[in-house]
Amino acid sequence: MMKKTLVALAAVAATGGAFAQSVLTGDFSFGYSSSTSAASGTANGMGMGDADIYWATSEDLEGGGKLGVNLALDLSNNTAAYGQAAVVGDETMSYTSASGMKVVVGSVKAGDYLSGGIASAGSGYNQTLDNALFTSRTFKDQITVTLPVGEGMALSLQHREAGTGMGAGAASTGAGTQRDATIGLKYTVDKLVLDGGYRVYDGTSSTSTSIATSLNRASASYDLGVAKIGAGYQTVIYGYGNSMTDTLVGVTAPVTSALSLGAQIGYRAKSGNSTSSLNTTMTGSIYSASYTLSKRTSLLASFISYDAVANTTQTTGFAAKLFTTF
């Protein structure tokens, strides 16, 4: 789920001619959800969906640069029993030069490229298809360098360590915890946004159908005024030569000044496998509604449906909650 935060100034200080500030924000929600699958039957009930604390600080450096630090804590910890410790979220440090170059280092659980990115066209504010139709996300230590290369255009270079947890020395094993390097290009002009990238992995195997060698992806969004639309794809190539392609189309539209409706329709296609039964196509969709009660508080509702286990089972679910930021 996409975390919405309202930036509130907590402290401002000036030292040595440099301007610094810190902010403390967060979000909280409570609601009801129900999920039904062939494997698990129906599970439903009410509970806390979001309880997060975000801390950020920034400082103006000599020479026109800026240094920033961001930390997040997840207090809801939905996968554990009540009373357990908070889960550490994204931890990043960034440096932005006077020329616009930006370097970000840290541990990040990045949003799904399609259902959490511009292809979703804004409809992923409540629920997404990652960890459902698409692959679940994991924390990875990484460094990203972004360079402005023209009007509205930015080039990015990123290296990510293996997804074995935060901390120095998280080495690659070549068994689903590979390191990767990505080059990306993003172009923004008026109401159009275009994004694309290419990734290579280490620890590859020419005979493996599950260890990736490369990835290519692209997405776009356009704001029509009456609605915002988006679309994108992502293809992973494995050592054996088989592939997995995810595609998504998203739309969000304001109905009134308070009510907004959105939808996402996604596909996952596997091809090139030696066994034809492994070449499958799976689908998923989300239909969402958001009703704004104030600048900080909204009522959110969504319905999700997606295929699982090679199209042999289907999961459906409904969720509604009151969401607020502070």
Domain that holds residue 240: 9-325
Q: Is 9 exposed, middle or buried (0-12, 13-18, 19+ CB in 10 A)?
A: exposed
Running DSSP on this structure, what letter comes out for residue 130?
A: B
Rg of the chain over all Cα atoms, to the nearest angstrom: 21
Residue 64 belongs to a domain with what CATH number? Answer: 2.40.160.10
Task: Name the β-bridge partners of 175.
Answer: none
Residue 257: CB atoms within 10 A of its CB come to 7
Could you tell me if residue 20 is inside a domain? yes
Report the number of distinct structural domains present in the chain.
1
Contacts of 63 (CB under 8 A, 6+ apart): 98
pLDDT in tens, 123-152: 666 678 888 889 888 888 999 999 999 899
Residue 300: CB atoms within 10 A of its CB come to 21
Could you tell me if residue 200 is inside a domain? yes
Percent of the chain with pLDDT over 90: 60
Among 186, 190, 236, 245, CA closest to 213? 236
Average pLDDT over the chain reads 85
Could you tell me if residue 94 is inside a domain? yes
Could you tell me if residue 1 is inside a domain? no
Determine the Cα–Cα distance for residues 282 and 135; give it in Å rounded to an integer.
Answer: 13
Looking at 172-181, 237-246, 265-274, which range is the least confident one? Answer: 172-181
Could you tell me if residue 2 is inside a domain? no
Could you tell me if residue 4 is inside a domain? no
Percent of the chain with pLDDT over 70: 84
Dihedral sign, Cα of residue 112, residue 199, residue 214, residue 203: negative
Could you tell me if residue 131 is inside a domain? yes
Give the pairing of strands 281-292 and 192-201.
unpaired
Tokens of 311: 């199209």
Could you tell me if residue 3 is inside a domain? no
Tokens of 91: 């931890």
pLDDT in tens, 257-308: 999 999 999 999 999 998 888 899 999 999 999 999 999 999 999 999 999 7
Residue 168: pLDDT band (50, 70, 90) is: low
